[in-house]
Chain A
Amino acid sequence: MFDKLDQIFVTALHWLVSFLPEAWRPLASSLICIAFILSVFPAVFSITTIFERKGIGRIQNRYGPNRVGIPFTKIRLAGFGQFIPDGVKMLTKEDIVPRAADKVVHFLAPVVMLIPVLLAYAVLPFGKNMTVTDYDAGLLFFFAVGGAVELSVFMAGWSSRNKYSLLGAMRAIAQMVSYEITLILSAVTVVMVVGSLNLNEIVAHQNQYTYGIAHWFVFTPWGLVGFILFFIASLAESNRTPFDLPEAESEIIAGYFTEYSGFKFALFFLGEYLGMFAIIGLGITLFLGGWSSPISFLAWIPSYVWFFTKLMAIVFIFIWIRATLPRLRMDQLMNFAWKFMLPLALMNILVVGIWHYMAADWQRWLVCSAIIFGAYVVLGRGLMHNQKLGKRIYRYAE
């Protein structure tokens, strides 16, 4: 019975598509999948905005939105209807385009941002055989499309002809470029072990159980380090605190989308969150076993439920980190990326090499965790050496 529940969406899709003549079936099934993605993830986006505001509120000893429940009624629902007025406000705000702006590029920027982000969902396995397109080089497709987002960030920053937005765009691109390398290198470790770029194969590889515990990569030493690197790089890739320098309100107003308002700003906002979900989805697929359940006797729970619970769990951790950590300065951000994350990712690849060629027993665990822990400590000390705040040297005053 549970297997039918697990495959409910797949059977529904096949049933829907069976009405059409044979020639139209592939097109219809892909259209339905697109409709599925375009409805589910914006809904998750709207719920996340409320979780974010309430979560950060609760952490700062205040309530967070608790007024709007179901619009035009008195039901409060503890504020979980807030995304409806927010959405209406975002869409009905006047869309001001600066006179000096480059109209065409200014208009295209949000579109060019959304296209790659939505394309990235084509490859993610949401549940057992619930992947929209099963590419053989799925991971490469994800990173290729992820790389195209920087172009839209530049278009937005440059076309609004405003110093702050150009500065924000430059910072955002520099940050995304330097953290993308760590992102790809930490994903390379998983590819080395699984031996294929196909995301379904990666999840299938992690879907086996010994003594009831799943073979998730995050339970191996290199997998844990890889996951932490991937997690930090995805924080930076989606411009979230503590890497939200590009849209640091205090310094450069709203970064590259300063001159955007109304619908276009809503698109940017949606694009940013969808990008975050895509990156978290990939992190789950690579390290946390995609849609597989952590314990064998819980495997009866449908696979997409596992995927979305993991997704929401990591989104909560993002919100938690956003409420805790202060913003990094630009040079600290760059130092951290090039002097700590990149070398550690390379060491991690070395460790996976050793892991691959050693016999599968406790020595392998010991050696690998020793090497990677040693690298972590040495690189960590390298980054923290200038913590000693000596007496300030004045340039002119005595």
Chain B
Amino acid sequence: MSAFFIITGIVTLLGAVFAMSLRNLVHCALAMAVAFSGIAAMYLQLDAQFVGFAEILVYVGAIAILIVFAILLTRSGEAPEKSVLTSGWMAGIAVSAMVFTMLGWAVLNSSAIPKETPPAPVTTVKDVGDALMTKFVLPLEIIGLVLTAAMIGAVIIALKEESKNKNIGRKP
């Protein structure tokens, strides 16, 4: 539990708490980006270098911008006047607190968790590449398919409908 580990943990949790509690939506998105970079720092500490960089590239680089664009497109950049939480918010908080206490109890005194920390595994990009191409080649292809389908689906859903009066003033 090195000092750096605790710092990144606190940064991530603070980022997550602010992402969920701030009134202005754009601030939430930026706090979320801070939380994601905190998580990326934790990955680097757990010697998962490739995943850490991929996390920055995918989440902080792409998804944060995507969410921010969505916020602008739905014109919710300004903080709403009325209350920000849904009606039954007390129940939600209670359930999540219960989930956390249960998980925490399980983590703290379960015997199945290995106590000693093994040496840091040296995973080079070549090992990741070989694993991807040999053992995990099927999931790789399926992920490619899923991504293309998602992209096309997203474009079709968000496409602006054909405006009826498309050809105003065009010479017949």
Do A and B interact directly, with beta carbons closer than 8 Å? yes
Size class of the B contact interface (CB-based, 8 Å): 20 to 34
A residues 81-136 near B (Cβ < 8 Å) are 102, 104-105, 135-136
Q: How near does chain A come to B31, taking the closest CB pair, in angstroms?
A: 11
State whether the Cβ of A137 lies closer than 8 Å to any Cβ in chain B. Answer: yes
Q: Are B56 and A105 in contact (CB under 8 A)?
A: no
- Complex partner residue of B49 from A104, A135, A148, CB under 8 angstroms: A135
- Complex partner residue of A151 from B27, B54, B65, CB under 8 angstroms: B65
Q: How near does chain A come to B18, taking the closest CB pair, in angstroms?
A: 12
Q: Are A147 and B57 in contact (CB under 8 A)?
A: yes
A residues 142-165 near B (Cβ < 8 Å) are 143-148, 150-151, 154-155, 158
Size class of the A contact interface (CB-based, 8 Å): 20 to 34
Contact indicator per residue, chain B 10-51, by CB within 8 Å of chain A (1) or not (0)? 000000000000001011001001000100000000000110
Q: How many angstroms between the C-alpha atoms of A396 and B171 in the bound complex?
A: 9
Q: How near does chain A come to B78, taking the closest CB pair, in angstroms?
A: 10
A residues 380-398 near B (Cβ < 8 Å) are 393, 395-396
State whether the Cβ of B61 lies closer than 8 Å to any Cβ in chain A. Answer: yes
State whether the Cβ of A299 lies closer than 8 Å to any Cβ in chain B. Answer: no
> Nearest residue in A to B65 (C-beta to C-beta)?
A150
State whether the Cβ of A265 lies closer than 8 Å to any Cβ in chain B. Answer: no
Q: Are B54 and A144 in contact (CB under 8 A)?
A: yes
Interface of B is mostly: helix
- Complex partner residue of A197 from B24, B60, B61, B125, CB under 8 angstroms: B125
- Complex partner residue of B68 from A154, A177, A197, A396, CB under 8 angstroms: A154
Contact indicator per residue, chain A 32-63, by CB within 8 Å of chain B (1) or not (0)? 00000000000000000000000000000000
- Complex partner residue of A144 from B26, B53, B64, CB under 8 angstroms: B53
Q: How many angstroms between the C-alpha atoms of A148 and B55 in the bound complex?
A: 11
Which residues in A have their C-beta under 8 angstroms from that of B72? 158, 170
> Nearest residue in A to B68 (C-beta to C-beta)?
A154
State whether the Cβ of A195 lies closer than 8 Å to any Cβ in chain B. Answer: yes
Q: Are A158 and B56 in contact (CB under 8 A)?
A: no
- Complex partner residue of A145 from B50, B56, B69, B170, CB under 8 angstroms: B56
Q: Are A105 and B169 in contact (CB under 8 A)?
A: no
> Nearest residue in B to A177 (C-beta to C-beta)?
B65
Q: How near does chain A come to B150, taking the closest CB pair, in angstroms?
A: 16
Q: Are B64 and A151 in contact (CB under 8 A)?
A: yes
State whether the Cβ of A365 lies closer than 8 Å to any Cβ in chain B. Answer: no
State whether the Cβ of B62 lies closer than 8 Å to any Cβ in chain A. Answer: yes
Interface residues of A (CB under 8 A from B): 102, 104-105, 135-137, 140-141, 143-148, 150-151, 154-155, 158, 170, 173, 177, 195-198, 393, 395-396
